[in-house]
Amino acid sequence: MVKINLDNFRDSDGSIFVYQPKVYFDNLCFEYAENTVDEKLEILSELVINGLDLVSEIEKYMENCSPVTITSLKATLAYYFLYLRGEDPYSTGFHGLDEFSETKLAAMLQESLVAHYNDTCFKNSTNML
């Protein structure tokens, strides 16, 4: 599991935010390649568990995005959601998820990230036994 310093993801008021959102949400920029998909999802899982509201974060992110970036964001969120379910959407298709709004996809992804975090923690604890 990726270890992060939560202080790097805390705002001055103590709330959790996504530091460098392009790394996680903009698959058209070079920063996106800084981490693997698994690393990104582990980090996002930990942030969600620690109080990140992914829907609000996506809404804030979209305020400064071009229409092309928003289209990319939608595909990225759908990809993450299906990836957590063990699918490769580029092989199996997006099953219509790319028709959902970005906020709907973010809400679905947030639920999946909680389950992913709990599953990862469970697997890590049983591996230590």
Helices 54-62 and 102-127, packing angle to 10 deg: 140
pLDDT confidence band for 125 (50 / 70 / 90): very low
Bridge partners, 16 (sequence order): 10
Let me know: does 54 contact 48? Beta carbons within 8 Å: yes
Per this entry, what is the length of the chain? 129
In a 13 Å sphere around the CA of 23, the CA atoms on its Cβ side amount to: 12
- Give the model's pLDDT for residue 120: 65
Q: What is the mean pLDDT of residues 120-127?
A: 53
Is the model more confident about 121 or about 96? 96
- Taking only the tens place, the pLDDT of each residue in 19-31 is 999 999 999 989 9
Q: What pLDDT score does 18 carry?
A: 95
For 22, 52, 66, 105, 121, the CA distances from 48, given in Å and listed in that order, are: 17, 4, 26, 15, 14
10: alpha, beta or left? (left if phi > 0; alpha if psi -120 to 50) = beta
